[in-house]
Amino acid sequence: MACTRPNMEMQRPYHHSQFTDKGFIEAFENGGFPPNLFTHEAHIRLAWIYLEMFDEETAISKTCEAIKNFDLLHGDGTKYHTTLTVAAVKVVHHFRQKSNATTFDEFVTEYPRLITSFKELLYQHYGRSVLANPKAKTAYLEPDLLPFD
């Protein structure tokens, strides 16, 4: 007869918000973050947390390294896009400078466009051809329409 402990088993997370900021970063950096939970919102949260911990330049470097490693570990290494990743951190940094939020949830409540209209925010800075340029995947390309602050 098998002994089961249904109340003792750890349930799998179904959303990135089930992780504390520290737990989110630890799981992401050590490869334990479930790939199905790495949504656009989780991508923005990753940038938000690194910006909480580091200056913008370091946050960009950490975010790029973490996502590139995540893509290699959980994918085939072809989804990582340098320009999109750097631009995302720069956009989050821009809004963080204006925000009084102390948590990620407060931040995205204050600036919901980061989740709902992110592409439109990027297209204020970049023409579609720049983001589609194959070089943009492997190197950061500066905005061609509106520079970041």
Q: Nearest to residue 111, comparing CAs of 99, 122, 119, 103?
A: 99
pTM: 0.88
Q: Which amino acid is at 51?
A: L
For residues 146 and 124, is the Cβ–Cβ distance under 8 A? yes
Tens place of pLDDT per residue across the chain (149 aa): 444 434 333 567 788 989 999 999 999 999 999 999 999 999 999 999 999 999 999 999 999 999 999 999 998 888 999 999 999 999 999 999 999 999 999 999 999 999 999 999 999 999 999 999 999 999 999 999 999 97
Domain coordinates in residue numbering, the chain:
21-26+38-138
Q: Nearest to residue 59, comparing CAs of 87, 81, 20, 30?
A: 87
